[in-house]
Amino acid sequence: MTPHEDHDDHHHDHHGHDHHHHDGHGHAPHPAREDDDVELTYEEARFLALKAMLVETGLITADEVMRRLAVNDLGSPHQGARMVARAWLDPAFKERMLANPKAAARELDIAVTEAELMVIENTPETHNLVVCTLCSCYPRSLLGEPPAWYVSKAYRSRAVREPRKVLREFGMDVPDSVEVRVHDSNADLRYMIMPLRPPGTEGMSEEQLVALISRDSLVGAAPLSAS
């Protein structure tokens, strides 16, 4: 769970509200509005009604929600990649990041809103994988919204029992000589993985390294290569 905690699974299987079937709905007159090409579901209508009521009662303002949305939008895998690239290049930063990731993030002007954060370093002997078996706890400040696979029940179920098989399905064959450790996140402690720096990247700039680092590699679910 997160401050953004989360419970759950499939992002968009919008079933289960068939009691409110509705045809022939007209589109709003302003097609430029975000998501106007997406049909209004009952779930969204319920949220819009809830928000309007909370604003009317004065519990929150629409502006507060938009400001928080802007803060949440700063979270993206790009932030996690910046941390890792810097750590590859600067051993002292790496030590600080492993000891206190939130303080290290602040050095790069990244504000971490989650309770506790831990960065775990992959080594030639050990590969690390992150899951949240109970819901979808994820370091959103560093990685953004969790991908659909991360919140799927299938991943939550299988990652702890057969991680090597799951990794193989993700295109990552971990040799038997390498130990696989799975870390189960919760609301109070979330993880990011520091992947191994790929061979062939020796002369690369920090910017070039950032561009190599994928979202999934920061969860331990994808290998990295120099190209």
Partner 1 sequence: MSFMAERLITDVGGMPAGDVPREEVPQLFWEKMMIAMFNVLWTKGIFNLDEFRRTVEQMTPEEYKASTFYGRRVDGMTSLLIEKGYISKEELNRRADDIFKSGSRDHVA
Q: Does 100 bind partner 1 (CB under 8 A)?
A: no
CA 158 to chain centre: 19
Does 214 qualify as catalytic in the annotation? no
Looking at 76-84, 86-94, 99-107, 147-155, which segment touches partner 1 (CB under 8 A)? 147-155
Q: Which amino acid appears at position 125 of this protein?
A: E
Q: What is the DSSP string of 89-151?
A: H-HHHHHHHHH-HHHHHHHTT----SS-EEEEE--SSEEEEEE-SSS----HHHH-SPPHHHH
Subset of residues 53 to 82 that bind partner 1, contact rule: CB under 8 A: 53-57, 59-60, 62, 64-66, 68-69, 72-73
Q: Which of residues 154-213 bind partner 1 (CB under 8 A)?
A: 154-161, 166, 169-170, 184, 187
Amino acid identity, position 205: S
In this structure, the chain runs to a length of: 227
Q: By C-beta, is 61 or 123 nearer to partner 1?
A: 61
Query: Which residues from 16-45 bind partner 1, rule CB under 8 A?
Result: 16-17, 20, 22, 25-30, 33-36, 38-40, 42-45
Q: Is 185 a catalytic residue?
A: no
Q: Is 10 in the site for partner 1 (CB under 8 A)?
A: yes
Strand partners, 128: 181
Kindly identify the residues of this chain, within the stretch 107-136, that bind partner 1 according to CB under 8 A. Answer: 131, 133-136
H or E stretch at 67? helix 62-73
How near is the Cβ of 17 to partner 1 at its closest, in Å?
A: 8
* Residue 141 annotated in active site: no
Per the annotation, the verdict on 132 as an active-site residue is: yes
Answer for the pair 204, 72: CB distance below 8 angstroms, yes or no.
no
Query: What are the catalytic residues?
Result: 132, 135-137
